[in-house]
Structure 1
Amino acid sequence: MNTVKQGTKFTQDFKTYAIENDSGKVVSFFHDIPLQFDPATRTANMVVEVPRWSNAKFEISTSQPGNPIVQDVKKGSVRFVKNLFPFKGYIHNYGAFPQTWEDPTTTHGDLSVVGDNDPLDVCEIGLRVLQTGDVKRVKVLGSLAMIDDGELDWKIIAIDIEDELAGQLKDIPDVEKHCPGLLSSTRRWFRDYKLPDGKPPNVFAHDGIFLSLEKTVQIIQQCSNSWKRLIAGEVTSAKSLPATENVSNSGSPKLIQSFDLVANDYKGEGPIPPEIDKSYYYL
């Protein structure tokens, strides 16, 4: 999979599109990149949105045609994650599982909250820094159920199958054994990363316990099935649902021939606000 960048990085006009290697046409990061989840090997394809140690809050746009990766915007400004001491930006390679969807019209299992209307988030914990737009085969290890603004926002813990640690990690207890401190730091980071912006800490379901591989497999399968209903046009809601135009899912009511793409006009990086370089301290 190749990518094409448009606009100026760290501004609202920046986009990264997925380009199919064989045809050269734009495909949706959300709907056309295959999940290919294998329950036997516990592996799936992950789309990388944010490289580890970086601050810009990049994400797959669920509303724009072609579902490019863009920088999130709030109150008219692009969003950055500040440095929560002792961390620098995001502490994982952060991204999403394509062809999954956290359904905002139903509650999940024994939890009384609905999904956040986005693909499943993935935290890749390997040793390499990955890049925005990378598509990586990852091994699933476990999950954390965060509640964000009253919505369920799963964080799936996974590792690139090509990473040198991948052979040692098979479930959440292996992460604790071979990567001591990683899980507690992950919980702390997701709890507190909004504090520098004056927001309250996030909360977790299941008392903040990381769920096992077995339970996480069920979560992925459920969100995969939710996406299948979405792409088939079977979900209706008063809430705005994601755009479902795609070029690869036969039978989808929004199947199209191709996405329009303007010329590659990448202009390089724009400025980053100086406060993003600071460290912020919280107990």
Structure 2
Amino acid sequence: MRVVFMGTPEFSVPVLRALAADHEVVAVYSQPPRPAGRGKKERPSPVHQTALDLGLEVRTPLNFRSDEARADFAALKADIAVVVAYGLILPQAVLDAPAKGCLNIHASLLPRWRGAAPIHRAIMAGDAETGVCIMRMEAGLDTGPVLLRAATPIAATDTTGDLHDRLSGMGARMILDALDHIDGLIPVPQPDAGVTYASKIDKAEAHVDWTRPATDLIRHINGLSPFPGAWTMIGTERIKLLRAAPAAGAGTPGQVLTGFTVACGKGALGILEAQREGKRPMPAAEVLKGLHLPETLS
């Protein structure tokens, strides 16, 4: 089929590659290049760069408010559009342009976790599972009927980074299945019960409050890993905590028990992976080789 692909972050890249291998991708839409890195030079998004590597046409409109932008999209005469974490709201004229409409790949089991950060929020809430839905898009926020869905369990030590990679691969496989059977799939409306919204992650959420129960903090740390990264202060240095697991022990909140085991408001947790300022992520044992832990973390 003639496919328009619309996506921006790394999560969307495996989907683009899968589509390009099996279908005619007539254009790729992505967010415009943004300043990044120490030099703040404009850098194309991961999808933009991948499309260039594949020799595909890339378009980066700021929005679809103008008649020209909508007409340019319609002129592609696409059979279908596939949208994965694009970052722009599509007006009805764009949704209606492809002959078979627009499909969205969403990283949750809808209607749970509609919105911007479904992977983070699923882990932070302690969900037992999450998954991917292929949804026919409509004007509402992730409200469209679901064509395909698949679930995956969330392990106790899964981070957002772990789930990100797993769900991205699932989405790439599922969209090919969806396109192969598009005329026979039955759209299932989302139920009104069970709707939750995955609000965008605020960096202010990242500071670890050791007075919270260990169970909550493990979800908090793993859910914010690798970005933005939950953190605690050790001396004057901000240390990112990137993976945690349950541990035996108890003490006052923030008290370092043994190794990188820390007492919480209830119970204790063990830090399995962390990152010092200006350093790469490392196993906790490696971090501790050059870091003196105080009696209590803050």
- Which band: TM-score by shorter chain? under 0.3
Structure possessing the higher relative contact order (Cα contacts under 8 Å, 6 or more residues apart): 1
TM-score (norm 2): 0.23
Larger helix share, 1 or 2: 2
